[in-house]
Amino acid sequence: MTANLVDRYVLTALRRLPEQQRADIDRELRASIEDAVDARVEAGEPRDTAIEQTLLELGDPDRLADSYAGRPNYLIGPELYPVWRRSLTALLTLVLPIVVLVTAFVQVLADDAGFGEVIGTAVGTIINVGAHMAFWVTLTFWIVERTGAGKSDLNRQWTPQDLPRYEPGALTRVQFAANLLWPAVVIGALVLQQFTFTEEPLLDPANWSFWWPVLIALIVLKGLWVFWVYRLGRWTRPVAVVNAVLSLVTGGVIIYLLSSDNFFNPAFTGFNGTDVDLQGWISVVVMLTTGVSIAYDIVDVFRKAEQARKGLGVKVPGTGNPYTAG
183 domain residue, yes or no? yes
pLDDT digits (tens, 9 = 90+) for 33-91: 999 999 999 999 998 888 888 888 888 887 787 777 766 666 777 777 777 887 888 88
Q: Is residue 321 part of a domain?
A: no
Same domain, 149 and 176: no
Contact 220, 262 (CB under 8 A): no
Residue 20, domain member (yes or no): yes
My answer on whether 303 and 194 are in the same domain is yes
Q: What is the DSSP letter of 314?
A: E
Domain membership flag for residue 279: yes
Domain assignment present for residue 214? The answer is yes
Shared-domain flag, residues 148 and 45: no
The CB-based long-range contact list for 102-107 (8 Å cut-off, 24+ gap) reads 104/284, 104/285, 104/288, 105/281, 105/284, 105/285
- For 6, 36, 41, 43, 186, the CA distances from 49, given in Å and listed in that order, are 12, 12, 9, 12, 80
Q: Is residue 92 part of a domain?
A: yes
Answer yes or no: do 188 and 269 share one domain: yes
Residues (pLDDT < 50) of the chain are: 1-3, 325-326
Domain count, the chain: 3
pLDDT, residue 182, reads 85
Give the pLDDT confidence score for residue 60 in this predicted structure.
80
* pLDDT score at 326: 45
Together in a domain, 226 and 172: yes
Full DSSP string of 85-101: HHHHHHIIIIIHHHHHH
Q: Note the pLDDT of residue 1.
A: 39
| Residue 169 in domain | yes
Query: Which of 108, 132, 161 is the endpoint of a domain?
Result: 161
Question: Which residue, 69, 99, 119, sits at the end of a domain?
Answer: 69
Q: Which domain holds residue 22?
A: 5-69
Q: What is the largest CA-CA distance in the chain?
A: 104
Say if 319 falls within a structural domain. no
**pLDDT score at 154:** 67
Distance CA 74, CA 88 (A): 18
Query: 105-124, pLDDT tens digit by residue?
Result: 776 666 555 656 767 777 88
Residues 264, 294 share a domain: yes
Indicate if 246 and 275 belong to the same structural domain: yes
- Looking at the fold, whether 155 and 205 belong to one and the same domain comes out as no
Q: In terms of Cα–Cα distance, which of 213, 217, 235 is closest to 226?
A: 235
The whole-number pLDDT of residue 168 equals 64
Where does a domain end: 137, 161, 185?
Answer: 161
* Other CB atoms within 10 A of residue 122 CB: 21
